[in-house]
Chain A
Amino acid sequence: AQSVSQHNHHVILSEAASLELGCNYSYGGTVNLFWYVQYPGQHLQLLLKYFSGDPLVKGIKGFEAEFIKSKFSFNLRKPSVQWSDTAEYFCATNTGNQFYFGTGTSLTVIP
């Protein structure tokens, strides 16, 4: 079965620092990859997605992710984080209509 793994469980950054959250996927074929964010007390929201084309994907709120097939990676980046980016971030992939989520990375941004 397909899966994703997130190795950073907790990340603490100061405002304006750069962010990179790791995500590795297991499947060697065609993959769809997603990053979701869950702000405190809110529902999961889609940040960005990749399924083909340009491997550098831009999402909402200044986030981007790069699909690197040779490394089976889809890392999330943001050049300068804000306090409002404090949230839980989930990488995901899917097989048909079944999504597989990573265990999540908790990001805390200190003002």
Chain B
Amino acid sequence: DTGVSQDPRHKITKRGQNVTFRCDPISEHNRLYWYRQTLGQGPEFLTYFQNEAQLEKSRLLSDRFSAERPKGSFSTLEIQRTEQGDSAMYLCASSSVGGDRYGYTFGSGTRLTVV
């Protein structure tokens, strides 16, 4: 068990470009979450998967954001037509059933900078 892996660790992109991030959860965890963290703030919920089904989405997740989890394993988060306000740390976490009571395991995050 190597924990939750996120790739890339850092991404610099020009405004208007599309970016995609990947998250590999702990293998036996069936739940996967995406959060966004900006400077001076705590993580904010974006979306949640149970297996391959996307069960919850935050209003923060605009139409430019899409997340997938094909086959219930790894997940991708795509941001289309990036804006400077998208600059943040994007965190992935995973849990087994009961994660709402026992907490998640977080990855190290992907830091996105939009220039």
A residues with a Cβ closer than 8 A to B are 32, 34, 36, 42-46, 49, 51, 90, 92, 94, 96-104
| Segment of B10-18, B38-46, B61-69, B79-87 in the binding face | B38-46
Given the interface pairs A43-B108, A102-B42, A103-B40, the reply to whether A97 lies near B33 with Cβ below 8 Å is yes
Chain B residues with CB below 8 A from A102, complex form: 42
Q: Does B112 contact A (CB under 8 A)?
A: no
User: CA separation between A49 and B101, bound complex, in Å?
Assistant: 8
Identity of the chain B residue whose Cβ is nearest the Cβ of A42 in the assembled complex: B108
Q: A32-B100, A102-B42, A103-B42 are in contact. List 10 more A-B contacts (CB 8 A).
A: A34-B103, A43-B3, A43-B106, A49-B102, A49-B103, A90-B43, A97-B31, A97-B33, A97-B100, A100-B45
Q: Does B107 contact A (CB under 8 A)?
A: yes
B residues with a Cβ closer than 8 A to A are 3-4, 31, 33, 35, 40-45, 48, 55-56, 58, 91, 93, 99-104, 106-109
**Chain A CB within 10 Å, residue with most, of B35, B91, B100:** B100
Is A96 touching B100 in the complex (CB atoms < 8 A)?
Answer: yes
Chain B residues with CB below 8 A from A34, complex form: 103
